């Protein structure tokens, strides 16, 4: 059996991350149902992982210190994007938040070309076109119009996707950092941003839920965070620096299919023929380049 190349393994890691992030909305919405609303749910969601992160932070203090400003900047950029994304999920329809975030491959492809000088291949153009078409189908309300944001949550989702594109490019630049260190700083900065959001938007956050209510979510939240969020983040931080940012964005599109299907099943959001067609197109965008690299391209070389 042929051993997968480092690039192929990185692509699989990013595809896995996308699948995991497709379940990202579940614990956030469950926190709301448990009596921890809005920005407070966001706060609990990002503070809880510190129980896993702080011991690792102490064990790798020397390596993290060696990462310097470069490590901190990457943690800041990726954390701001993900915290904003979770705010969007709580502020608009799940599918709309996911899809507007996943205009990311467009921003990533353009930034990778401008900053890194990496080409946009014909297969990548095709993938981007399929992804955009899928989003137009799902968000067009039957009219197939361009998926423009309609509310604050939509705009936050769009901007968080742009922020993640910047983060993906930053992961390709600078020092070759250990994924554990990147994960640690991402979670540290995420918790910091979540606290700032609650303080700065105090009126929108509303009164603090009882401490007992927030603590009561930990028995189910901590295992979910460990199995979903921590593993997904590690796969992201290991795989993303090894790939073109546009490829990362396309592979993460697997989240759209998972998110749309699970939202239809568990949140009651619409999932009809229009949504099915959109998910098929977006999923095709996510796998097109990997299919080309792993299967079609080697066969054409042998022919």
Q: Is the pLDDT of residue 255 over 70?
A: yes
Would 209 be classed as within a structural domain? yes
Whether 214 and 17 have beta carbons less than 8 Å apart is answered as no
> pLDDT-derived band of residue 1, with 50, 70 and 90 as boundaries?
very low
Would 215 be classed as within a structural domain? yes
Task: Measure the CA–CA gap between 18 and 192, rounded to whole angstroms.
Answer: 24
Would 1 be classed as within a structural domain? no
The tokens describing 289, both together, are 């380049």
Side-chain-side CA neighbours of 188 within 13 Å: the count stands at 19
How many structural domains does the chain have?
Answer: 1
Would 293 be classed as within a structural domain? yes
Which of 30-44, 111-125, 186-200, 287-301 has the least mean pLDDT?
A: 287-301
Q: pLDDT digit string (tens) for 278-290? A: 778 877 776 776 6
Task: Measure the CA–CA gap between 271 and 264, rounded to whole angstroms.
Answer: 6
Sign of the CA dihedral 210, 216, 220, 224?
Answer: positive
- Average pLDDT over every residue of 182-203: 90
Whether 268 and 134 have beta carbons less than 8 Å apart is answered as no
Task: Measure the CA–CA gap between 87 and 107, rounded to whole angstroms.
Answer: 21
The whole domain housing 60 covers: 6-302
Would 43 be classed as within a structural domain? yes
Query: 3-state DSSP: the chain helix, strand, coil percent, rounded to 5?
Result: 80, 0, 20
Q: Is the pLDDT of residue 184 over 80?
A: yes
How does the average pLDDT of the chain come out, rounded? 81
Would 224 be classed as within a structural domain? yes
Q: Is the pLDDT of residue 147 over 60?
A: no
186 vs 281, higher pLDDT: 186
Whether 237 and 168 have beta carbons less than 8 Å apart is answered as no
Which of 183-187, 215-219, 224-228, 247-251 has the least mean pLDDT?
A: 247-251
- Average pLDDT over every residue of 149-176: 83
Give counts: helices (H), strands (E), the chain: 18, 0
> pLDDT-derived band of residue 64, with 50, 70 and 90 as boundaries?
very high
Would 124 be classed as within a structural domain? yes
Q: Is the pLDDT of residue 120 over 80?
A: no
Would 142 be classed as within a structural domain? yes
């Amino acid at each position: 059996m042929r051993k997968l190349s480092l690039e192929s393994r990185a692509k699989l890691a990013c595809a896995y991350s996308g699948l995991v992030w497709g379940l990202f909305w579940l614990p956030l919405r469950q926190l709301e149902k448990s009596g921890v609303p809005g920005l407070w749910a966001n706060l609990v969601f990002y503070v809880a992982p510190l129980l896993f992160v702080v011991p690792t932070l102490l064990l790798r203090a020397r390596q993290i210190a060696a990462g310097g400003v470069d490590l901190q900047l990457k943690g800041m950029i990726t954390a701001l994007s993900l915290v904003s994304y979770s705010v969007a999920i709580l502020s608009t329809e799940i599918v709309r938040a996911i899809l507007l975030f996943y205009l990311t491959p467009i921003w990533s492809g353009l930034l990778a070309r401008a900053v890194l000088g990496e080409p946009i291949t014909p297969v990548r153009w095709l993938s981007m076109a399929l992804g955009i078409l899928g989003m137009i189908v799902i968000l067009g309300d039957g009219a197939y119009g361009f998926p423009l944001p309609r509310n604050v949550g939509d705009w936050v989702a769009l901007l968080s996707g742009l922020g993640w594109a910047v983060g993906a490019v930053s992961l390709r630049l600078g020092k070759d950092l250990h994924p554990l260190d990147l994960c640690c700083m991402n979670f540290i900065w995420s918790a910091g941003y979540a606290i700032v959001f609650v303080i700065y938007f105090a009126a929108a956050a509303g009164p603090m839920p009882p401490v007992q209510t927030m603590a009561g979510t930990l028995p189910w939240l901590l295992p979910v965070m460990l199995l979903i969020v921590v593993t997904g983040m590690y796969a992201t931080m290991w795989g993303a620096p090894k790939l073109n940012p546009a490829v990362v964005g396309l592979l993460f599109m697997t989240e759209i299919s998972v998110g749309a299907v699970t939202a239809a099943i568990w949140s009651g959001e619409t999932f009809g023929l229009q949504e099915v067609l959109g998910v098929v197109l977006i999923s095709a965008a996510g796998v097109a380049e990997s299919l080309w690299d792993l299967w079609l391209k080697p066969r054409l070389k042998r022919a």
